[in-house]
């Protein structure tokens, strides 16, 4: 959704698979004395329905198409000279260097939006409706799309000058400084997103179920989280699927529960979801993923520095520019960064799966509610049409969470408190 808008900060934000930890998560009980679960019987992993398998297979095809399209579009902008013509138009309109960069960035965002619109519309609107996963209106989809484009235009106009200024000032080390600049930019993005960006698309507010909210706050107290906020968001206007996530930084940190999750999961299951999300805070996953994003940006900028010069020298007549410091090179940066992202995806996604697995562990250790943990993942599988046992290629290149079958198995089997074994995160949980 909103591919063009998300493309605006290519060097800093192009590859952060799990910064916002979209929860494929589960349930729990909030109790200081670790009560026995409501059932000790293991929960079976249900086989994927025929519809879920069709959704899985067509999703893989769509991912391949989207990935290839994401590489093809910047290639077309380069070899057709469109990028150079956009730069010329930006120079005429902007007159000085800064406004030339800003106007080119806006033109780039708009062109990417138009070229990606058919795929975005099918993926974001047609397909969810075809599989019964959404009741979103056409008006809401278009409203969100337009808002996303506006946010993208503002973002690129504000920040695109950074790598190009560094290219002018330090042609040999620009990649190092640009990669390091990703760190404060990611922190800033994480801080402002829940305050100014996400509320543009959905309504966020306090939980309506105050009894459940008090249990969640009690669980947060046991996790040592002070000043945490729990928000309910009306995602039912967009989707029938269930989810929850952590977002924000410092004063903007919050845990967000979709209203669909609250409607379809039992209170103990919701509490496990909260335990999982609290684990992300307590275990420092936000910082870890910011550092991962910075490392990816740094590596990507370095690869661009090593390879772009030769490509420009070979195809300068087709590209319409002779140096990387020319803003018309933005599609080239995007293309090379896209290739880098594709190559290193397995490693980055593996780290994301590790982070989510440890949050699962924390959720179990603070709730000790194996049964509701497992049943929450079962509901997630069924409501989101997930394949609990995806293939290896899917896991390597698409899965930023462990497969749901593995997570249900873990919920069934992880019970160190029953045999007197120490908890891995016992020192982080108040009794």
pLDDT for position 329: 98
Q: Is the pLDDT of residue 23 over 70?
A: no
Token output for 408 = 């249900």
* Nearest by Cα to 198 from 256, 273, 120: 256
CB 100 within 8 A of CB 327: yes
Q: Is the pLDDT of residue 16 over 70?
A: no
Total residues found in the chain within this entry: 431
Nearest-angstrom CA–CA distance, 55 and 57: 6
225 or 227: which leads in pLDDT? 225
Nearest-angstrom CA–CA distance, 122 and 176: 38
pLDDT for position 246: 87
Q: Is the pLDDT of residue 222 over 50?
A: yes
* Nearest by Cα to 164 from 112, 81, 108, 111: 108
Q: Is the pLDDT of residue 13 over 60?
A: no
Residues 289, 291, 292, 297: what is their CA dihedral angle, to the nearest 10 degrees?
130
pLDDT band at 229 (very low <50, low <70, confident <90, very high): confident
Over residues 200-214, the mean pLDDT reads 95
How would you classify the pairing of strands 204-205 and 254-258? unpaired
Task: State pLDDT tens for residues 282-302.
Answer: 999 999 999 999 999 999 999
Nearest-angstrom CA–CA distance, 428 and 431: 10
CA atoms within 13 A on the CB side of 27: 27
pLDDT for position 5: 37
pLDDT for position 34: 40
Query: Percentage of the chain surpassing pLDDT 70?
Result: 90
List the catalytic residues: 277
Helices (H), 34-96: 50-79, 82-94
pLDDT for position 227: 67
227 or 185: which leads in pLDDT? 185
pTM of the model: 0.88
Task: State pLDDT tens for residues 287-345.
Answer: 999 999 999 999 999 999 999 999 999 999 999 999 999 999 999 999 999 999 999 99
Q: Is the pLDDT of residue 30 over 60?
A: no
Residues 274, 279, 281, 287: what is their CA dihedral angle, to the nearest 10 degrees?
-140
Give, for 204, the enclosing helix (H) or strand (E).
strand 204-205
Q: What is the DSSP letter of 194?
A: I
Over residues 182-200, the mean pLDDT reads 95
Task: State pLDDT tens for residues 351-371.
Answer: 999 999 999 999 999 999 999
Nearest-angstrom CA–CA distance, 5 and 37: 45
* Nearest by Cα to 242 from 405, 398, 27: 27
pLDDT for position 298: 97
Task: State pLDDT tens for residues 250-271.
Answer: 888 889 999 999 999 999 999 9
- Look up tokens 């992993």; give the residue: 45
pLDDT for position 253: 86
Q: Is the pLDDT of residue 8 over 80?
A: no
DSSP track, 134-180: ----HHHHHHHHHHHHHHHHHHHHHHTHHHHHHHHH-TTTHHHHHHH
Nearest-angstrom CA–CA distance, 270 and 42: 19
92: exposed, middle or buried (C-beta count within 10 Å: 0-12, 13-18, 19+)?
Answer: exposed
Nearest-angstrom CA–CA distance, 349 and 212: 33
Task: State pLDDT tens for residues 401-411.
Answer: 999 999 999 99
């Amino acid at each position: 959704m909103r591919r063009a808008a998300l493309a605006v900060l290519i060097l800093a934000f192009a590859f952060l698979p799990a910064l916002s930890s979209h929860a494929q998560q589960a349930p729990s009980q909030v109790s200081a004395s670790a009560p026995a679960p409501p059932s000790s019987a293991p929960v079976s992993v249900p086989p994927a329905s025929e519809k879920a398998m069709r959704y899985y297979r067509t999703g893989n095809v769509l991912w391949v198409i989207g990935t290839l399209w994401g590489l093809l579009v910047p290639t077309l902008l380069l070899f057709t000279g469109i990028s150079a013509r956009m730069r010329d138009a930006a120079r005429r309109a902007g007159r000085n260097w800064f406004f030339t960069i800003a106007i080119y960035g806006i033109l780039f965002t708009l062109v990417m939006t138009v070229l990606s619109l058919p795929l975005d519309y099918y993926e974001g609107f047609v397909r969810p409706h075809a599989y019964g996963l959404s009741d979103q209106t056409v008006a809401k989809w278009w409203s969100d799309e337009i808002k996303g484009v506006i946010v993208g235009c503002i973002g690129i106009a504000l920040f695109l000058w950074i790598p190009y200024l560094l290219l002018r000032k330090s042609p040999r080390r620009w990649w190092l400084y640009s990669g390091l600049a990703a760190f404060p930019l990611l922190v800033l993005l994480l801080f402002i997103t829940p305050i100014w960006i996400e509320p543009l698309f959905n309504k966020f507010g306090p939980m309506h179920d105050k009894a459940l909210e008090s249990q969640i706050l009690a669980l947060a107290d046991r996790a040592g989280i002070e000043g945490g906020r729990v928000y309910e968001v009306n995602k039912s206007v967009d989707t029938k699927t269930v989810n929850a996530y952590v977002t924000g930084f410092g004063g903007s940190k919050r845990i967000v529960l979709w209203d669909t999750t609250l409607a379809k999961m039992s209170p103990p299951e919701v509490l496990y979801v909260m335990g999982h999300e609290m684990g992300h805070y307590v275990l420092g996953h936000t910082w870890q993923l910011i550092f991962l994003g910075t490392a990816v940006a740094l590596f990507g900028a370095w690869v661009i520095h090593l390879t772009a010069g030769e490509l420009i020298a070979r195809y300068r007549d087709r590209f319409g520019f002779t140096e990387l410091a020319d803003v018309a090179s933005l599609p080239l940066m995007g293309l090379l960064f896209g290739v880098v992202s594709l190559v290193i995806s397995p490693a980055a996604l593996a780290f994301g799966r590790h982070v989510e697995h440890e949050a699962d562990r924390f959720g179990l250790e603070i709730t000790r509610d194996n049964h509701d943990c497992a049943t929450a993942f079962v509901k997630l599988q069924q409501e989101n049409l997930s394949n609990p046992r995806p293939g290896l290629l899917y896991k390597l290149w698409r899965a930023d969470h462990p497969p749901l079958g593995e997570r249900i198995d873990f919920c069934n089997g992880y019970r160190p408190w029953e045999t007197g074994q120490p908890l891995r995160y016992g020192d982080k949980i108040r009794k």
